[in-house]
Amino acid sequence: MEKVIAKKKFGQNFLKDHTVLNKIIQSMPNNNNHIVEIGPGLGDLTKNLVKYKDTTAYEVDTDLIGILNSKFAKEIEEKRFELIHTDVLDAWEKKGSLYEGKYDLIANLPYYIATNIILRAFEDVNCENIIVMIQKEVAEKFSANEGDKEFSSLGVITKLVSKECRLLFDVPPESFDPPPKVTSSILYVSKDTNVELDKDFKKFLKACFSQPRKKLSKNLSSVIDKEFLSNIYNELNIKETLRPHEVSASLYSQMYTKVKNGKKRG
Ligand SMILES: C[S@@+](CC[C@H](N)C(=O)[O-])C[C@H]1O[C@@H](n2cnc3c(N)ncnc32)[C@H](O)[C@@H]1O
């Protein structure tokens, strides 16, 4: 077969390391969920996924569609594999969910939109578990704990929407062809499907973390009345000197509820 030239604009770094592929498969949750893969690429991970479970994959690159259709002709015929040729973010926009039943997202993500994809998967009510390869630095933001210097709005959101979030293992650039410039990590998130975040919560967090090294009270005082803010701090027993990364996800959630209720009244 003709050698495929990886396209930078689609974040194509094909995973070639069999040990890593096996470790991803071994990390799959033991349940009856369908699998959704984003960006099957040349199908190396896909080949392993379809051995275990029915899979739906979304691929944007037209040049890969023919290759995948012939590689997985048997699985497509047997309805164990469905390949959807589209930009996955458009699919979410149009359909709301990537699959009509409960599913786990398992993928080596295109890094240029990895954060967006994970945040979108958090909102997709049918997605229960997420096992994705992303840039290590980004994975550390998602899995950070309060007090860690990496704890940001991504960490707060992840804590609130998940039962568990962990970095499973790191993957060096040499495991890919072509090798990316950075180390990668596998991120595992088990979602708490009962939680739905308020649509304006992200805007509130943006204000909270606008100047991450300043005091949280300073960041909030530019969007909230000082006296109202001081009352919230007193009611929730929050120390005035705390920086944004030192406040727990649950306190952020309680503060947001008070701000929202206060605004409704005011
Ligand atoms: C890092 S590669 C992973 C390829 C393959 N899964 C592997 O592990 O070798 C990312 C894949 O995502 C695809 N991709 C990039 N942007 C996409 C988008 N917006 N929607 C769907 N697929 C996309 C790329 O074409 C590529 O196949």
pLDDT tens-place string over residues 11-65: 999 999 999 999 999 999 999 999 999 999 999 999 999 999 999 999 999 999 9
Architecture of domain 8-191: 3-Layer(aba) Sandwich (3.40)
Residue 59 annotated as part of some ligand binding site: yes
User: Cα–Cα distance between 160 and 168 in angstroms, integer?
Assistant: 20
How far is the centre of ligand 1, averaged over its atoms, from the C-alpha of 111 (Å)? 9
Q: What is the pLDDT of residue 62?
A: 97
Domain boundaries, the chain: 8-191, 201-265
Looking at residues 126-152, what average pLDDT do you find?
A: 98
Nearest CA to 108 among 29, 51, 187? 187
Whether 114 has a pLDDT exceeding 90, the answer reads: yes
> For 227-237, what is each residue's pLDDT tens digit?
999 999 999 99
Average pLDDT, the chain: 96
Q: What is the pLDDT of residue 4?
A: 87
Q: Which residues line ligand 1 (CB under 6 A)?
A: 10-15, 38-42, 44-45, 58-61, 64, 87-89, 108, 110, 113
Architecture of domain 201-265: Orthogonal Bundle (1.10)
Q: Which of 25, 61, 82, 175, when mutated, tests ligand 1's pocket best, judged by the most ligand atoms within 8 Å of its CB?
A: 61
How far is the centre of ligand 1, averaged over its atoms, from the C-alpha of 151 (Å)? 28
Looking at residues 190-210, what average pLDDT do you find?
A: 95
Q: Which of 45, 56, 108, 109, when mutated, tests ligand 1's pocket best, judged by the most ligand atoms within 8 Å of its CB?
A: 108
Q: What is the pLDDT of residue 262?
A: 84
Q: Which of 13, 14, 63, when mutated, tests ligand 1's pocket best, judged by the most ligand atoms within 8 Å of its CB?
A: 14
Per-residue DSSP letter, 60? -
pLDDT-derived band at 251, boundaries 50, 70, 90 = very high
User: How would you classify the pairing of strands 184-191 and 81-85?
Assistant: unpaired
Phi first, then psi: give them for residue 249, nearest 5 degrees. -60, -40
Whether 1 has a pLDDT exceeding 70, the answer reads: no
Whether 153 has a pLDDT exceeding 80, the answer reads: yes
Looking at residues 149-165, what average pLDDT do you find?
A: 98
Q: What is the pLDDT of residue 3?
A: 76
Q: Which residue has a Cα nearest atom 6 of ligand 1?
A: 40
Which alpha helices (DSSP H) does the chain contain, by range? 18-26, 44-52, 62-71, 73-77, 88-95, 114-123, 136-142, 153-161, 201-208, 216-221, 226-235, 249-265
Whether 9 has a pLDDT exceeding 70, the answer reads: yes
Residue 87 annotated as part of some ligand binding site: yes
First to last CA, the chain: 67
Least confident of 143-147, 253-257, 259-263: 259-263
Residue 45 annotated as part of some ligand binding site: no
How far is the centre of ligand 1, averaged over its atoms, from the C-alpha of 62 (Å)? 11
